[in-house]
């Protein structure tokens, strides 16, 4: 891996790039994952590379939904494995939930490598390397699922997902939580709760919220959800992006 000096003004972004590139080198991330990371970086830049108010509200709702769930499950793909494997294991542990490897560009070798990585990090339940069910209405590899994991879950967290599967999971009656830096994506619009944030900030933030709310009553958790409107949150995320761009334009004006 290229050594990135911590003093570099773009350290976090360059270090994340290195992790995805390393993921490709060791065979856990697809080469397409590099393109996805680039797209994400661009949206993160527009967002100001910070946790927005919209993301905070969505994170609270996501934590409430996960804590209320009968059977939550957390999906992991090649980019998630490269960028936040430990953080996903930590979240799964906090919830007592399984992790399931689910790949768009699926190879059995890659699914096994990711599952092994999650197990080596201490995950108690990891599925996806031996699927035994199919998500209806999907005709690609992402339909593969596991009965004890995503297939049987009532709430599913899907970071960096494609819109098709998000829709197919919702059509199965599941509540879907997305983590996606693009507030305009189909996934963002089809999920019940969308955290518009960088995965590397979003997952630890969500785990902290889960721990904070773990003592709350079911009534309190239901109240959080009752006041939540995902469309409103997406509009707010776009608005916060716009505000950030406006402040950029003002800086440029001052420099003239
Ligand atoms: O490992 P596989 O085979 O399952 O493939 C995974 C990728 C991510 C390559 C695949 O799902 C894919 O092609 O995804 P997309 O549609 O290119 O990207 C999904 C969304 O994630 C896009 O809206 C990106 O803006 C967003 N995104 C990218 N990086 C991040 C991100 N969102 C949050 N955090 C990121 N770091």
Residue 2 has pLDDT above 80, yes or no: no
Q: Are 233 and 241 in contact (CB under 8 A)?
A: no
Q: Are 230 and 180 in contact (CB under 8 A)?
A: no
Q: Give me the pLDDT at residue 11, please.
A: 83
Q: Are 203 and 91 in contact (CB under 8 A)?
A: yes
Closest residue by Cα to atom 24, ligand 1, is 40
Distance, CA of 192 to CA of 188 (rounded, Å): 9
**Least confident among 1-15, 49-63, 72-86, 217-231:** 1-15
Closest residue by Cα to atom 23, ligand 1, is 182
Secondary structure (3-state) at 178: strand
Which of 79, 145, 183, 206 gets mutated to test ligand 1 (max ligand atoms within 8 A of its CB)?
79
In sequence order, what are the residues at sequence separation of 6 or more whose Cβ sits closer than 8 angstroms to the Cβ of residue 220?
Answer: 213
Using pLDDT thresholds of 50, 70 and 90, give the confidence band for residue 244: very high
Count of all residues that appear for the chain in the document:
256
* Total-model pTM: 0.96
């Amino acid at each position: 891996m290229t050594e990135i000096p911590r003093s570099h003004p773009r350290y976090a972004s360059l270090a994340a790039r290195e992790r995805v590139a390393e993921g490709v080198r060791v065979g856990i991330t697809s080469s397409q994952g590099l393109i996805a990371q680039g797209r994400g970086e661009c949206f993160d830049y527009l967002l100001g590379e910070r946790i927005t108010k919209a993301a905070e509200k969505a994170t609270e709702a996501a934590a409430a939904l996960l804590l209320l769930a009968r059977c939550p499950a957390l999906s992991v793909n090649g980019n998630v494995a490269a960028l936040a494997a430990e953080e996903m294991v930590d979240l799964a542990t906090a919830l007592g939930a399984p992790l399931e490897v689910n790949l768009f560009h699926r190879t059995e070798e890659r699914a096994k490598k990711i599952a092994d990585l999650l197990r080596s990090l201490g995950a108690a339940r990891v599925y996806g390397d031996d699927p035994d069910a199919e998500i209806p209405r999907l005709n690609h590899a992402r339909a593969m699922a596991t009965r004890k994991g995503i297939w049987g879950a009532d709430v599913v967290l899907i970071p960096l997902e494609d819109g098709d599967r998000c829709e197919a999971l919702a059509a199965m009656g599941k509540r879907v939580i997305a983590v996606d830096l693009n507030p305009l994506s189909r996934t963002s619009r089809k999920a019940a709760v969308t955290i518009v944030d960088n995965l590397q900030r979003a997952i630890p933030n969500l785990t902290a919220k889960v721990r904070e709310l773990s003592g709350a009553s079911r009534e309190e958790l239901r109240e959080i959800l009752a006041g939540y409107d995902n469309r409103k949150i997406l509009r707010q995320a776009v608005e916060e992006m716009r505000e950030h761009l406006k402040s950029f334009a003002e800086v440029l004006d001052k420099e003239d």
